[in-house]
A and B are shown apart, each in its own frame.
Chain A
Amino acid sequence: MKNSIVENLKKEIEGFKKEIKAEKIGHVLEVGDGIAKISGLGGVGSQEMLEFSAEGGSASGGETTVQGIAFNLEEDSVGAIILGDYLKIKEGSVVKPTGRVLSVRVGEELIGRVIDPLGNPLDGRGPIFGEKSKEVFMPAERLAPSVTVRESVNTPLHTGIKAIDAMIPIGRGQRELIIGDRQIGKTSIVTDTIVNQGRDTGRRTPICIYVAIGQKESKVARLVATLKEQGAMDYTIVVSAPASIPASLWYLAPYSATAIGEYFMQQGKDALVIYDDLSKHAWAYRELSLLLRRPPGREAYPGDIFYLHSRLLERAAKLNKENGGGSLTALPIIETQLGDVSAYIPTNVISITDGQIYLEPELFFQGVRPALNVGLSISRVGSSAQTKAMKKVAGRLRLELAQFRELAAFAQFASELDESTRKRIERGRVLTEILKQPELEPMPYELQVCLIYAGTNGFLDDVSPAEVGAVSDKLLEYLEKLHRDAILGKIKESGELAQDLEEKLKKAIGEFKKTYA
């Protein structure tokens, strides 16, 4: 074994090419808190990658390099952010420009791995790319696809959550914001969505990329374990920028992840990127801007905080057939403080995305989970991203829930109201119960169609709200066992609820009720 090491070394030494060139360098004037001020570097461009020579590294007392990005180009100095441990850099350290912008190495080998925003593996499973892997780099910052290469969103991205797939449908290529207070179920929705992609076998599985920005490491570890358990890591990449790493890496994480997603989109595949969450991303950018002495604006955010998110989210698109037909769907998450959606960052991101899923604490504590506010949540892509079957049954769902909400105040006096009002309230209660769903139990859309059909056509009106959950579970079990191919399979295959299929479904539900009752 010793010999092979020596052989390798010999080969390295022989194959090594000497490179001596004159390069323009700079010296660090000030360093601290993740940023550095550099003198010299006259020819450096904005957003150019820099290399800081720092202390530490090999035993010879030599130096390691820490990377950075040139942010501020001032008259006699350059302000740069440091992508790594700034404690090793000293005043007077040499800084070299690299002549390129930040890019991430991408490839199929990334799938199933947990990486940091610079592409280094964090899951302890060794290097990501082997020696024979093709070297493909995607730039972290890139122009969004233009109007001519896009087409309108037409394929559904099923989340497996009944309330969302029925009333706030998401399509491939859309941006849908998930907004709510802390501990309200935002991450649960995206976890269920990722798990459901593996189960929604009617369509090709998108590559899911989960970006953890500023999260607790324990939360990220738990999420990865859950995804592994559910078999979702076979098509998922996790880009982790946990709370302990510098703010500059928090700032980069969404852009690196989008670059990875664009790689798959360009190949004609579907990709799903989840940014959890963009509020912390905005904090990181604010921190860097304030340290670099950029003037603070509203809520101390810098002036270009809108551009920070708009250029990120505009990269999500559905490409037309001439350009491969791939798509990149974005699900950004924003955490509000006490439900204030009119704060600066939430309003910014709401105006960028194609709709929002609004989670309310009141509903959460009433037991409605997912705590979706159907009235305020919207999907601007709407039914063009729904299967025909779902469109048919869910059209009335939204209306009936809206009517129920209007009458909700009178629900306390249910016994003193006229027949039709009382019926509406009962129906509304039943539908609300149907839409409740536990965590990590995404439902395939054909089952959703049947269940919602049963609800909106009055088949569950005679069941008390407390028992609707159990009854609907039994109904779906019944359909799965006895009518899998005849009904469920047909719905899945055709995506439609044709007349004869509807009759069959009606009959099946009737039979079920007889046996149950």
Chain B
Amino acid sequence: MTKYSISQYAAALILALEEKSGSKRSETIRRFLFIVRKNKDWSKLGRIVKEAEKQSLKKQGIKKVEVESAAPLSRAVKKEIEKIIGAKVVLEEKVRPEVLAGIKVLVDDEILIDASGISQVERMFVGNQVG
């Protein structure tokens, strides 16, 4: 029984789903799940799906962007982010008041631009122990 890596499963899934629609799509997915189960790799399924999403977005030239901010972002800010990133963007927003101010931008799960207020504050006081 050959061992397939997660990225191989994901690539195979994406290729198989290319140019299929409707019932053929669900049939292909069903067959894929069957094969994963047969190879006893069911526990990897979560990661395979994540990887497939990543690869598919990459293929289409779209970047996945997650933004954390203290309050909901305005349209203008969102447009600005899209412009800066350059490529087409799938934007996911998270409102976390702990961020205090500014935003944290995570691109493609790999590149982090941390302009949040909380990390600045922490960096300021990490070396300074008062009292």
* Interface assignment of B113: CB less than 8 Å from any CB of chain A: yes
Beyond A8-B130, A13-B124, A60-B118, whether A75 also contacts B7 by CB under 8 A is yes
Give per-residue flags for A1-34: 1 if the beta carbon is below 8 A from chain B beta carbons, else 0: 0000100110011001011111111110100000
| CB within 8 Å for A42 and B110 given contacts A12-B124, A18-B120 | yes
Tell me if A60 and B7 are in contact (CB < 8 A).
no
What 8 A-B pairs come out closest when comparing CB atoms?
A: A25-B112, A22-B113, A20-B115, A40-B110, A16-B124, A62-B122, A22-B111, A76-B7
Cβ B128 vs Cβ A12 within 8 A: yes
A414 contacts partner chain B, Cβ-Cβ < 8 Å: no
Q: Is the CB of B130 within 8 A of A5?
A: yes
Contact of A27 among B51, B109, B128 (CB under 8 A): B109
**Cα of A76 to Cα of B9 in the assembled complex, Å:** 13
* Contact indicator A9/B130 (Cβ below 8 Å): yes
Judge if A292 is at the interface, Cβ distance under 8 Å: no
Complex CA–CA separation, A451 to B95 (angstroms): 82
- Judge if A420 is at the interface, Cβ distance under 8 Å: no
| Residue from B47, B98, B125, B130 within 8 A of A29 (CB atoms) | B47
Q: Is A148 an interface residue, CB under 8 A from the partner?
A: no
B residues less than 8 Å from A60 (CB atoms): 98, 118, 121-122
Query: In the complex, what's the smallest C-beta–C-beta distance from B16 to chain A, in angstroms?
Result: 20
Q: Which residue of B lies closest to A41 (CB)?
A: B110
The docked-state distance in angstroms from the alpha carbon of A19 to that of B51 is 32
Which residues of B are interface residues toward A (Cβ below 8 A)? 5-7, 47, 51, 98, 106-107, 109-115, 118, 120-125, 128, 130-131
A101 CB-CB contact with B under 8 Å: no
Give 16 A-B contacts (CB < 8 Å), ordered by A residue.
Answer: A5-B130, A9-B128, A9-B130, A12-B124, A12-B125, A12-B128, A16-B120, A22-B112, A26-B110, A29-B47, A40-B110, A60-B121, A62-B98, A75-B5, A75-B7, A96-B112
Closest to A53 in B: B119
With contacts A18-B120, A58-B122, A76-B6 known, is A23 near B115, CB below 8 A? no
Where the two chains meet, the residues of A that have a C-beta atom closer than 8 Å to any C-beta of B are 5, 8-9, 12-13, 16, 18-27, 29, 39-40, 42, 57-58, 60-63, 75-76, 94, 96
In angstroms, how far is the closest chain A Cβ from the Cβ of B107? 8
Pair A62/B113 contact, Cβ less than 8 Å: no
Residues of A within 8 A of B120 (CB): 16, 18
Q: B113 to A20, Cβ gap below 8 A?
A: yes
Q: Are A21 and B122 in contact (CB under 8 A)?
A: no
Contact B118 A23 (CB under 8 A): no
A57 to B121, CA, bound (A): 13
B residues in contact with A42, CB < 8 Å: 110
Output the least CB separation between B31 and chain A (Å): 24
Contact of B98 among A22, A23, A61 (CB under 8 A): A61
CB closest residue in chain B, given A74: B5
Chain B nearest Cβ from A491, distance in angstroms: 55
CA distance A26 to B108 in the complex (A): 11
Once the chains bind, are B124 and A23 in contact (CB under 8 Å)?
Answer: no
Contacts of A22 in B (CB 8 A): 107, 111-113
Known: A16-B124, A60-B98. A25 touches B113 (CB 8 A): no
Contacts of A26 on B, CB cut-off 8 Å?
Answer: 110
A20 touching B114 in the complex, CB below 8 Å, given contacts A60-B98, A76-B5, A76-B6: yes
Chain B contacts for A63, CB-based, 8 A: 122
Bound-state Cα–Cα, A13 to B123, Å: 11
List B contacts of A12 (CB < 8 A): 124-125, 128
Alpha-carbon distance between A63 and B110 when the two chains are bound, in angstroms: 20
> Nearest-CB distance from B108 to chain A (Å)?
9
Residues of B contacting A16 in the complex (Cβ-Cβ under 8 angstroms): 120, 123-124
Looking at the assembled complex, report how far the CB atom of B23 sits from the nearest CB atom of chain A, in whole angstroms.
32
Bound-state Cα–Cα, A94 to B114, Å: 12
Least distance between B7 CB and chain A CB atoms (Å): 5
Contacts of A8 in B (CB 8 A): 128, 130
Residue of B5, B6, B109, B123 touching A40 (CB-CB under 8 A): B109
Establish whether residues A25 and B111, one from each chain, have CB atoms under 8 Å apart when the complex forms: yes
Q: How far is the CA of A57 from the CA of B123 in the complex (A)?
A: 13
Shortest beta-carbon distance, B38 to chain A, in Å?
Answer: 22
- Residues on the B chain within 8 Å of A13, using CB: 124
Structural contact, A24 and B111, CB atoms closer than 8 A: yes
- The distance in angstroms between the C-alpha atoms of A42 and B107, with both chains bound, is 14
Q: A5-B131, A8-B130, A19-B123 are in contact. List 20 more A-B contacts (CB 8 A).
A: A5-B130, A12-B128, A16-B124, A22-B107, A22-B112, A22-B113, A23-B112, A23-B114, A24-B110, A24-B112, A26-B110, A40-B110, A58-B122, A58-B125, A60-B98, A60-B118, A60-B122, A62-B98, A76-B5, A94-B112
